[in-house]
Amino acid sequence: MQPQPRAWVAAIQIEKRLRAELKKNSFWHQSVRELRKALHHAYESTIFADFQFAQANEVEQQLWKSCFYKPIEEFRSRLRVAQQAAQGVTALAGATPEEALEQSAMLTSAYTKFLAGAEEAYKRLVARLQWELGDVGASVEVPSAEMRALQQAVPRLSSTGSTAIAIAVHRCLIYLGDICRYRSQVVRPKEEQERALAYYQQAASVLPTSGNPYNQMAVVAYYGSDELRAVYYYFRSLGVSCPFVTARENLLLLFERNRARYAKLPPH
């Protein structure tokens, strides 16, 4: 039996400590943030220590879920509560609407900073994957100093990346698009939606057989009130060799909403 990478063993232990810490403290407590940072490092180290092992054990997905997606969901939940309280819809632990508005602003600031850090982390990961394991044609902006440090640390793999590398980079580009899409819900909607679409389009280019990017493009179109474009992307998501199955449910839901609106129209 092949030994597990030490970074993976460390990641398992850090996950346990993180879960225990979250039972005692807020998701944004300093101790939780430090553990999340250590977990991020352990998971990323596992990817580059043994890429095949990482793919077999879905390390990339666990990195996203534990270090980024769960905090994002917590931020979104707390923001919804604070915004509703600021509008007088619900109460927020006895806070006045003015206090709730102030808390909403503070949460938005912390949330956007977290998303900015997440975007930078995934851009670095895309650049490193392609430098060390093979180029698959993705293009992301990484600070020149960081890129030089990477280039000096390890030699570049000059060959084209394998399908496995393309899948990994494709997944990272989806996450990058999601980060921008989440940010569009709190700041600069049009600009961030366009940035999300650019990442999703790159993901589709890197792995044309995947329906996932098109489903995400449909979500952006829907929230941008372009339902016809959303329908188009949902069909694109289903019309590839690896369709995104959820797109069918999303498409049916979209049609049902349209049918319900039509039923409410006055008779001719």
pLDDT, tens digit, 9 for 90 and up, residues 109-129: 999 999 999 999 999 999 999
pLDDT bucket at 1, cuts 50 / 70 / 90: low
- The verdict on pTM exceeding 0.85 is yes
State the residue for tokens 């998303």: 115
d(CA 249, CA 120): 32
Cα–Cα nearest to 47, from 66, 64, 65, 60:
60
d(CA 227, CA 231): 6
2 pLDDT above the threshold of 80: no
40-87: pLDDT as tens digits? 999 999 999 999 999 999 999 999 999 999 999 999 999 988 888 777
State the residue for tokens 């009130």: 225
Q: What is the mean pLDDT of residues 96-113?
A: 87
19 pLDDT above the threshold of 90: yes
153 pLDDT above the threshold of 60: yes
For 201, the token pair is 């389009």
Q: How many CB atoms lie within 10 A of CB 70?
A: 15
